[in-house]
């Protein structure tokens, strides 16, 4: 604990200098999706590899067919666990530039009327500020103790904002090197300004496009209306049948692998005090639309869904056309939880559609991706350590939350490297990531560094 | 009958000259929808007014804000009925020109391998050839008898193929002049080559666009999926609810005003020998999709429908986007029969939608036209006379059929002038109206003229 205290003190003392280092990184416009910024992406990677080398990591810029990766290794005490830290150095485009109050790549520290400070720049929260919290914690440990409390690999990607095309081949080619006991992924938010969060569950996703076909051509509804099968009706009926009046999905076998939340987790979610109204009110809604009797947090974090993301058929322009369409299309996706099997869900949905196809209709299916849910065991010892470490740093204890969406890298770590991930980040919902005037709270940056110091210390205790 | 025989003989004798007159009219490219052909439309009107004047009609080209009308009057014997003949001199565009085997406005008489002849040109069947059958009948009556067997007004429109924008104001401004005992509308088909048809029923139409709205913006289905109301689901459910498993429409009060066919009409339709397979087979279908237990002719001629003509919502482009749309839209139309009230149907549908709207959703309605069905009384004496006259001319007796679609002018004649219409035409299903290589059978043109001579004679008998 003496060590940790001095490390924390070092972080406090050096906050200004850490802001300067982050600012230097933020000045590099590493927009991965725009080929014009390829050289800038490389510069950001080199900056980070250089900084990690200066701390004492064995660090390298590693080539890919796209933007390079940064991989850096540092030993830990004998027998200490091996953790892999993941972040990304690339950033989103900055359009519309005219809406930025200051230059997107000219970081400024702004002081708000309430006295809080924030760092404003593209990438400040997503993800340069976040990844530097971990690097600063490592730097302070090295400065104060000469080493790190556990073995650390830092793995920084440069294509996260452009679909990560090089990620999977790189993981496969470097499986041994990158496999650790656990991954620490720093690209998520806190629950709120005072409450740190660990995301323990991420829903999976199955996408499926269906095309229902009837007549061999579009028909005039005057001549054929009443006698010809209308594929929009067929499609509407199938989609309507997918859910019952209680919001339950009716596809046979759909709930196989879905578990109920442990009672304590459910209670802790209730304790977050998020009302249905406040969650939905922001987007003009009030009443949870999912399974009756479940809170919005359950509905979005721990329950599966069947959503229609798009539908089209017939005449959709201005005015009116009395046509009976030859075909109608829907894009349907399923969010999966716990151990629901994407392949089984897809097959069950297809069967469900086939079973409802009337005479004269055929259907085409086009798959669009499928990934299982990620669910960290709630009783994992690592999870408990991180939870305690975070709770020690922040005003409120850390909460374990779910995430409604997917973070592909977490699935790939699990599938390709057999490695679970702990998602710990210090972003806030109003950070405006992907938008003009992105910011990162100074408290996120500072206490984020301190949080990682505590976590490294806790994990090193073995 | 002596008079009629000589009139028919005159028509036989002058067939070649009538083809020449029709050809002269067909050479005028009176495409109403393209402003470049405005002068040609006027030329066609002047040609017809001139021809009718030469026969002995008091004929005039009458101005409108768009293309002119032709109105021509001729007296009949004292106490004879007054009939109004309707046709249109404008034609459809000719694209794609490259698919025409001969120039669209260079009419040719083609002899087929089986010896039948046809006149090929844009407008030959729709509607110049058809309207000339009536004018030729009048010409022959005048030549042989010096007069017409009943009072005749000929009313020719020049905007039928471009939405008839001037029709209603013209009818309203000339109500007295155009009101007759009955209208004869010549713009429809025979049942088949040997069987003339009188359309006695036309379905009405109510169009309605609905927009179901939920959240105030498009949402990410990861964050909100399961908790946020998806307007595509809501819309699909409403549309699916509109019909039960037997194809019956479930909107309360929807069938008010719907009558069962008289038994003899039903039998005569069965006698037409049109199987479900042959009607639907042409468009790749087999099984009638409407109310169970009713033939395709009933389903399309005498039963109402509720069809979705278009639907759209969410992401409909290539690939996939995990979005929950803020709104979803459907264009819905109802075909009406007998005395169904368009206003009541619209109101009932809106109520049906409102009743199914869950919390957090709103709906917008946009009306798109509404017209009641037209149903000529099956026991009308005029109808019986026309039926007999047609049966005398053709190999098979005339059949009374329905029409699934609407012909707006028929509704306007009824609503604005209080005048019923008899729809008698000599087109065939393969005439390729609106398509390249439009043709009109010589038998249609010749026996069409003879048919009108018989009809005029029959109506004049009082």
CB B149 within 8 A of CB B65: no
| Residue B401 forms contact with A (CB below 8 Å) | no
Pairing of strands B362-371, B204-213: antiparallel
Tens digits of residue pLDDT in A136-155: 999 999 999 999 999 999 99
Secondary element (H or E) of residue B277: helix B276-281
CATH of the domain at B167: 3.40.630.10
A286–chain B nearest CA distance, Å: 6
CB B377 within 8 A of CB B210: no
Q: Quick one: B189 and B336 in the same domain?
A: no
> In the prediction, which pLDDT does A379 show?
85
Number of folded domains that form chain A: 2
Query: Which of A289, A365, A368 to mutate to probe the B interface, most B CBs <10 Å?
Result: A289
Q: Quick one: B335 and B227 in the same domain?
A: yes
Distances (CA, A) of A141 to A205, A447, A450: 40, 15, 11
- What is the C-alpha end-to-end distance of chain B, expressed in Å? 14
* The three-state (H, E, C) secondary structure of chain A, written as one string: CHHHHHHHHHHHHCHHHHHHHHHHHHCCCCECCCHHHHHHHHHHHHHHHHHHHHHCCEEEEECCCCCCEEEEEECCCCCCCEEEEEEECCECCCCCHHHCCCCCCCCEEEECCCCCEEEECCCCCCCHHHHHHHHHHHHHHHHHHCCCCCEEEEEEECCHHHCCCCHHHHHHHCHHHHCCCEEEECCCECCECCECEEEEEECEEEEEEEEEECCCCCEEHHHHCCCCCCHHHHHHHHHHHCECCCCCECCCCCCCCCCCCCHHHHHHHHHCCCCHHHHHHCCCCCCCCCCCCCCHHHHHHHCCEEEEEEEEEECCCCCCCCEECCEEEEEEEEEECCCCCHHHHHHHHHHHHHHCCCCCCEEEEEEEEEECCEECCCCCHHHHHHHHHHHHHCCCCCEEEEECCCCHHHHHHHHHHCCCEEEECCECCCCCCCCCCCEEEHHHHHHHHHHHHHHHHHHHCC
Q: Quick one: B196 and B209 in the same domain?
A: no
Residue of A225, A276, A279 with shortest CB distance to B307: A225
B394–chain A nearest CA distance, Å: 25
| Residue A331 forms contact with B (CB below 8 Å) | yes
CB B279 within 8 A of CB B296: yes
CB B276 within 8 A of CB B269: no
* Domain contains B284: no
A130–chain B nearest CA distance, Å: 21
Give the mean pLDDT of A387-401.
95
| Residue B32 forms contact with A (CB below 8 Å) | no
Residues of B whose CB is below 8 A from A329: 316
Residue A87 zone, left/alpha/beta (φ > 0; ψ -120 to 50; rest): beta
Q: Quick one: A48 and A138 in the same domain?
A: yes
| Residue B369 forms contact with A (CB below 8 Å) | yes
* Per-residue pLDDT at A158 exceeds 90: yes
Residue of B224, B285, B290 with shortest CB distance to A300: B224
A96 upstream amide cis, omega within 30 of 0: yes
Asked if B236's CB is within 8 angstroms of A239's CB, the reply is yes
- Mean pLDDT lowest among A84-88, A231-235, B102-106, B319-323: B319-323
Distances (CA, A) of B307 to A233, B126, B342: 8, 28, 15
| Residue A337 forms contact with B (CB below 8 Å) | no
Residues of A whose CB is below 8 A from B337: none
CB B290 within 8 A of CB B303: yes
Give the mean pLDDT of A283-300.
93
A129 upstream amide cis, omega within 30 of 0: no
Query: Which of A217, A236, A313 to mutate to probe the B interface, most B CBs <10 Å?
Result: A236
Asked if B283's CB is within 8 angstroms of A223's CB, the reply is no
Tens digits of residue pLDDT in A412-421: 999 899 999 9
Residues of B whose CB is below 8 A from A210: none
| Residue A30 forms contact with B (CB below 8 Å) | no
Asked if B221's CB is within 8 angstroms of A309's CB, the reply is yes
> In the prediction, which pLDDT does A331 show?
97
Which residue is closest to A207 within chain B, CA to CA? B320
What is the C-alpha to C-alpha distance for residues A228 and B285, in angstroms, rounded to an integer? Answer: 7
Q: Say which residue the tokens 């028909």 belong to.
A: A219
Token pair of A268, please?
């802790």
Q: Quick one: B334 and B417 in the same domain?
A: no
Range of the structural domain that residue A319 is part of:
204-258+304-371
What is the C-alpha to C-alpha distance for residues A70 and A89, in angstroms, rounded to an integer? Answer: 9
> In the prediction, which pLDDT does B1 show?
58
Residue A121: φ, ψ to 5°: 180, 155
> In the prediction, which pLDDT does B376 show?
87
The strand pairing partners of B70, in sequence order, are B61, B156
Token pair of A226, please?
């009443």
What is the C-alpha to C-alpha distance for residues B165 and B159, in angstroms, rounded to an integer? Answer: 7
Q: Please return the burial class of B436, using the count of CB atoms within 10 Å of its CB with bins 0-12, 13-18 and 19+.
A: middle
| Residue A218 forms contact with B (CB below 8 Å) | no
Q: Quick one: B113 and B22 in the same domain?
A: yes
B356–chain A nearest CA distance, Å: 12
Name the domain boundary from A312, A340, A371. Answer: A371
Task: List strands edge to edge, sheet with A204-213.
Answer: A362-371, A204-213, A327-336, A305-314, B305-314, B327-336, B204-213, B362-371
The mean of the pLDDT values for chain A is 95
Asked if B288's CB is within 8 angstroms of A220's CB, the reply is no
Q: Quick one: A134 and A193 in the same domain?
A: yes
B365–chain A nearest CA distance, Å: 13
Q: Quick one: B456 and B324 in the same domain?
A: no
Which residue is closest to B329 within chain A, CA to CA? A316
* Domain contains A319: yes
* Domain contains B76: yes
Report the length, in residues, of chain B.
Answer: 462
Q: What is the ipTM of this complex?
A: 0.84
Largest CA distance in chain B: 87
Cα A254 to the chain's mean position, in Å? Answer: 24
Residues of B whose CB is below 8 A from A225: 300, 305, 307, 333, 335, 404
Token pair of A307, please?
């959503």
Residues of B whose CB is below 8 A from A362: none
| Residue B315 forms contact with A (CB below 8 Å) | yes
Distances (CA, A) of A296 to A289, A398, A407, B367: 9, 20, 20, 37
B46–chain A nearest CA distance, Å: 34
Q: Please return the burial class of A407, using the count of CB atoms within 10 Å of its CB with bins 0-12, 13-18 and 19+.
A: buried
Name the domain boundary from B371, B390, B417. Answer: B371
Q: Quick one: B152 and B28 in the same domain?
A: yes
> In the prediction, which pLDDT does A52 show?
98
* Domain contains A153: yes
Which residue is closest to A232 within chain B, CA to CA? B308
Restricting to A residues 222-251, those with a Cβ less than 8 Å away from any Cβ of B are 222-230, 232-233, 235-237, 239-241, 243
Residue A79: φ, ψ to 5°: 85, -5
* Domain contains B175: yes
CATH of the domain at B214: 3.30.70.360
**HSE on the CB side for B442, CA within 13 Å?**
18
Q: How many CB atoms lie within 10 A of CB B351?
A: 13
* Domain contains B171: yes
Q: Quick one: B334 and B420 in the same domain?
A: no
Report the length, in residues, of chain A.
Answer: 462
Query: Which of B187, B189, B241, B309 to mutate to probe the A interface, most A CBs <10 Å?
Result: B309
Asked if B310's CB is within 8 angstroms of A222's CB, the reply is no
- Mean pLDDT lowest among A93-97, A300-304, B393-397: A93-97
> In the prediction, which pLDDT does B462 show?
62
A34 upstream amide cis, omega within 30 of 0: no
Residues of A whose CB is below 8 A from B346: none
CB A294 within 8 A of CB B214: no
* Domain contains B280: no
| Residue B78 forms contact with A (CB below 8 Å) | no
A85–chain B nearest CA distance, Å: 24
B401–chain A nearest CA distance, Å: 13
Q: Quick one: A153 and A229 in the same domain?
A: no
Give the mean pLDDT of A331-345.
96
B102–chain A nearest CA distance, Å: 27
* Domain contains B263: no
| Residue A272 forms contact with B (CB below 8 Å) | no
What is the C-alpha to C-alpha distance for residues A279 and B224, in angstroms, rounded to an integer? Answer: 9
Among B442, B448, B438, B462, smallest CA distance to B103 is for B438
To 5 degrees, how large is the angle CA A141–CA A145–CA A148? 50
| Residue B340 forms contact with A (CB below 8 Å) | no
Token pair of B139, please?
């010409």
Asked if A226's CB is within 8 angstroms of B309's CB, the reply is no
Among A166, A158, A188, smallest CA distance to A30 is for A158
CB A390 within 8 A of CB A454: yes
What is the C-alpha to C-alpha distance for residues A136 and A257, in angstroms, rounded to an integer? Answer: 41
Residue B200, helix vs strand vs coil: strand
What is the C-alpha to C-alpha distance for residues B344 and B342, in angstroms, rounded to an integer? Answer: 6
Which residue is closest to B202 within chain A, CA to CA? A222
Q: How many CB atoms lie within 10 A of CB A379?
A: 8
Residue of A221, A328, A405 with shortest CB distance to B220: A405
Asked if A308's CB is within 8 angstroms of B225's CB, the reply is no
* Per-residue pLDDT at A462 exceeds 70: no
> In the prediction, which pLDDT does A429 show?
87
Name the domain boundary from B371, B387, B421. Answer: B371
Residues of A whose CB is below 8 A from B402: none
A127 upstream amide cis, omega within 30 of 0: yes
| Residue B308 forms contact with A (CB below 8 Å) | yes
Q: Quick one: B355 and B444 in the same domain?
A: no
Q: Please return the burial class of A78, using the count of CB atoms within 10 Å of its CB with bins 0-12, 13-18 and 19+.
A: exposed
Give the mean pLDDT of A365-387.
91
Q: Spell out, as residue ranges, where chain B has pLDDT lower than 50.
A: none
Tens digits of residue pLDDT in B356-374: 999 999 999 999 988 889 8
Residue of B222, B310, B405 with shortest CB distance to A223: B405
């Amino acid at each position: 604990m003496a060590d940790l205290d001095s490390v924390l003190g070092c972080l406090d003392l050096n906050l200004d200098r850490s802001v300067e280092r982050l600012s230097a990184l933020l000045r590099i416009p590493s927009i991965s999706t725009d080929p014009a910024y390829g050289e800038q992406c490389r510069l950001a990677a080199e900056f980070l590899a250089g900084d990690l080398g200066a701390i004492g990591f064995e660090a390298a810029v590693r080539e890919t067919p796209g933007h390079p990766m940064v991989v850096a290794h540092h030993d830990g005490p004998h027998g200490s666990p091996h953790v892999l830290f993941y972040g990304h150095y690339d950033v989103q485009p900055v359009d519309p530039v005219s809406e930025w109050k200051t230059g997107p790549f000219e970081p400024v520290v702004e002081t708000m009327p309430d006295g809080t400070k924030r760092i404003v720049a593209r990438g400040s929260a997503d993800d340069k500020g976040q990844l530097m919290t971990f690097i600063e914690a490592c730097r302070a440990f090295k400065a104060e103790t000469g080493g790190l409390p556990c073995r650390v690999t830092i793995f920084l990607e440069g294509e996260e904002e452009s679909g990560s095309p090089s990620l999977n081949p790189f993981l496969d080619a470097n499986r041994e090197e990158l496999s650790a006991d656990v991954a620490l992924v720093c690209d998520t938010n806190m629950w709120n300004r005072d409450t740190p969060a660990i995301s323990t569950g991420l829903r999976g996703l199955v996408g499926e496009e269906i095309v229902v076909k009837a007549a061999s051509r579009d028909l005039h509804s005057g001549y054929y209306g009443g006698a010809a099968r209308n594929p929009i009706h067929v499609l509407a009926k199938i989609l309507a049948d997918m859910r019952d009046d209680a919001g339950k999905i009716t596809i046979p076998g759909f709930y196989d692998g879905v578990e109920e939340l442990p009672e304590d987790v459910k209670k802790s979610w209730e304790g977050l005090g998020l009302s249905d109204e406040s969650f939905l009110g922001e987007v003009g809604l009030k009443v949870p639309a999912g399974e009756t009797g479940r809170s919005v947090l359950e509905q979005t974090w721990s329950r599966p869904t069947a959503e229609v993301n798009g539908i089209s058929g017939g005449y959709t322009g201005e005015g009116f056309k009395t046509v009976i369409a030859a075909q109608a299309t829907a894009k349907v996706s399923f969010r999966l939880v716990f151990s629901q099997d994407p392949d089984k869900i897809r097959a069950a949905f297809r069967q469900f559609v086939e079973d409802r196809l009337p005479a004269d209709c055929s259907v085409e299916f086009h798959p669009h991706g499928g990934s299982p849910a990620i669910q960290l065991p709630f009783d994992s010892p690592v999870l408990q350590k991180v939870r305690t470490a975070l709770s020690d740093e922040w005003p409120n204890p850390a909460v374990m939350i779910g995430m409604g969406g997917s973070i592909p890298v977490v699935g790939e770590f699990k599938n390709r490297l057999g490695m679970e991930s702990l998602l710990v980040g210090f972003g806030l919902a109003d950070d405006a990531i992907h938008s003009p005037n992105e910011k990162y709270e100074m408290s996120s940056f500072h206490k984020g560094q301190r949080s990682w110091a505590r976590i490294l210390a806790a994990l090193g205790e073995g």
